[in-house]
Structure 1
Amino acid sequence: MTGDRITQAEYWNGEVGRRWARGQSTLDAVFAPLTEALFARVGLKPGDRVLDVGCGSGETALIAARSVGSGGSVLGADLSVPLLDVARARVAAEPGAAVLRFVEADAERYDFGQAAVSHVVSRFGMMFFPDSQAAFANLRRALAPGGRLTLLCWQALADNPWVSVPRAAVLPLVPEPAAPSPDAPGPFRFADPAPLRALLTAAGFADVACEGIVRDVVLGRAEDGSAREAAEAAAGVAVELGPVSHLLREAGPPLRRRALEAVTEALLPHARDGAVRLGAACWLVSAG
């Protein structure tokens, strides 16, 4: 659950999924340095068979397809139909890579096949399982002997200024959010990697490795090079697409405008050379 009322499928097939689909190119650009770190660790080779969990709008699946070539295969799995629609359209515009297909699937129970893939990868898609133990056990069954799972998940909120700075600007405008349960689905579900290690081990994975990755991400750029235009662009990303958007889910236009103004002012000191750059801290986790 993302809260007490809606399931993950409902959440990602509703307005959030449609908003992310519209902002696909923006999100991919923001996460580009982290995506690069993920695939540097995965080390895909021609002919590999890849399962991309929480593939979203297809960026990571397309990168995998280019890496494994025509002799390989990539299956992208996600709950969100709006995001999968974007992913399929992108594949149609980029033919000739690996066998690449997408499926609407719940990783907890979908049959991906026994020992069907050599790599399971995920960019920020594995923190949202309602039943993490079931999902990881199911993914372990899909992984062939000698294969590996590699994923990115967020470190603590306090270590992620790209979220914490706009969040601090919005909090005075909205009711104080309830503290999430430590094991509830959400972006910071595995901020402490110890429970993730335990879940992977219990699901049958071995050789679990966890590396801290910190990169600057660009939240917004200015066409005219000005700090304010960059801050305004970054505020739009934070309020519409980042984790802060959850705080404004019920907000009407007047409150949303006030939030944009507050976040713009908070991000203005971080604008340099026509761009707002803030730190993003992740765990890069792999297991066999």
Structure 2
Amino acid sequence: MAGGITQTEYWNGEVGTRWARNQAVLDAMFVPLTEALFAPLALREGASVLDIGCGAGATTLEVARRVGPGGRVTGADISAPLLAVARDRAAAEAPGGAAIQFIEADVETVDLGRFDHSLSRFGIMFFPDSARAFANVRRMLKPGGRLTFLCWRTLPENLWVSVPRDAVLPLLAEIPPPPEHDTPGPFRFADPDPLVALLRGTGFDSVTCDAVDRDIVLGQGETDAAATAAATHVSLNLGPNSHLVREAAPDLRARAEAAVTEILRGHAAGGTVRLRAACWLVQAE
């Protein structure tokens, strides 16, 4: 992490607060990917489920709707700001009467009980020690239990990141280096072969990785201009590109916003800016 801060410090600081404040925007953006995550899940009524890196609780609440009143759902995350939003949403939405528990905990090390299923929507890539985390998740699954998660494929395949990124990079005095191999970050598991080997090495016998490609909505508005402005905000404040200009001087920030606005304008139609997202849907037993 930048400045040597830990994942816990990162997600409990300004970034976690910003994500919590923009929870509705992020959930709407990821709807097609959330649907892809749940498509293969056969969640029976009464099942017990662990949601890893549950964030503001969208996936946890969806699980609760599916497993019903007899089910048990645990959402775990290290971000207190996001969990506060999740608890408020659970109290307001009361989905189907399922027992929901949100816990501020590091799934890499904590024992949260035994579950029929574990799942994660983009929360599995940030553990300091992936092998230790996956082994712990495996221990928390009942016999026959399954882990299902989404993780990003390569950055160039994810146009929702690469298109605005390519607009910003020429403005920077120094190009950020690519992430080091097997370090926490969104594109950590872009290469599926080491991921499959890692899962098998931590106790999962059957592992599949299926490519998922969906167009996601970066911004919407009454006009294309309004949609482009919303998409620019998401690109520079909420996604993997946010670190590029987070501490930039006002002049550079303004030029970056202008450059991203210009390039995203070409992707606006009907008051919506859509770009392709590319993921792996991973299932392991």
* TM-score, scaled to structure 2: 0.97
Residue 264 of structure 2 is aligned to residue 267 of structure 1: yes
Give the Cα separation in 2 of the matches to 1:85 and 1:258. Answer: 35
Which letter maps to 2:121? R
What is the aligned counterpart of 1:237 among 213, 234, 237? 234
- Give the equivalent residue in structure 2 for 1:215: 214
Per the TM alignment, residue 119 of structure 1 is displaced from its structure 2 partner at its CA by 0.4
SS at match of 1:159: coil
Residue 280 of structure 2 is aligned to residue 283 of structure 1: yes
Residue 189 of structure 2 is aligned to residue 187 of structure 1: no
Give the Cα separation in 2 of the matches to 1:227 and 1:149. Answer: 40
SS at match of 2:30: helix
- Deviation sequence 1:33-69 (CA, Å, 0-9, x none): 0000101112212111000000000000000000000
Per the TM alignment, residue 220 of structure 1 is displaced from its structure 2 partner at its CA by 0.4
Which segment drifts farther, 145-154 or 174-183? 174-183
SS at match of 2:241: helix
Per the TM alignment, residue 254 of structure 1 is displaced from its structure 2 partner at its CA by 3.4
- Deviation sequence 1:116-173 (CA, Å, 0-9, x none): 1000000000111110000000000000011100000000001010000011111122
- Give the equivalent residue in structure 1 for 2:12: 13
Give the Cα separation in 2 of the matches to 1:146 and 1:46. Answer: 17
Which letter maps to 1:107? V
SS at match of 1:213: strand
SS at match of 2:160: helix
- Give the equivalent residue in structure 1 for 2:74: 75
SS at match of 1:101: strand
Give the Cα separation in 1 of the matches to 2:228 and 2:248. Answer: 21
Residue 165 of structure 2 is aligned to residue 157 of structure 1: no
- Give the equivalent residue in structure 1 for 2:107: 107
Per the TM alignment, residue 221 of structure 1 is displaced from its structure 2 partner at its CA by 0.8
* Aligned pairs for 1:29-68 within 5 A: 29-68=28-67
Structure 2: which 5+ runs fail to align? none
- Give the equivalent residue in structure 2 for 1:247: 244
Give the Cα separation in 2 of the matches to 1:45 and 1:27. Answer: 28
Which segment drifts farther, 53-62 or 256-265? 256-265
Per the TM alignment, residue 252 of structure 1 is displaced from its structure 2 partner at its CA by 3.7
Inter-CA distance 280–286: structure 2 relative to 1 (3 Å threshold): same
- Deviation sequence 1:85-110 (CA, Å, 0-9, x none): 10011011012531001011111111
- Give the equivalent residue in structure 1 for 2:87: 88
Residue 219 of structure 2 is aligned to residue 227 of structure 1: no
* TM-score, scaled to structure 1: 0.96
SS at match of 1:280: strand
Give the Cα separation in 1 of the matches to 2:3 and 2:177. Answer: 11
Number of aligned residue pairs = 283
Structure 1 stretches of 4+ with a deviation exceeding 3 A read none
Q: Aligned-pair RMSD on alpha carbons? A: 1.1
Which letter maps to 1:231? T
- Give the equivalent residue in structure 1 for 2:134: 136
**Percentage of pairs with the same residue:** 61
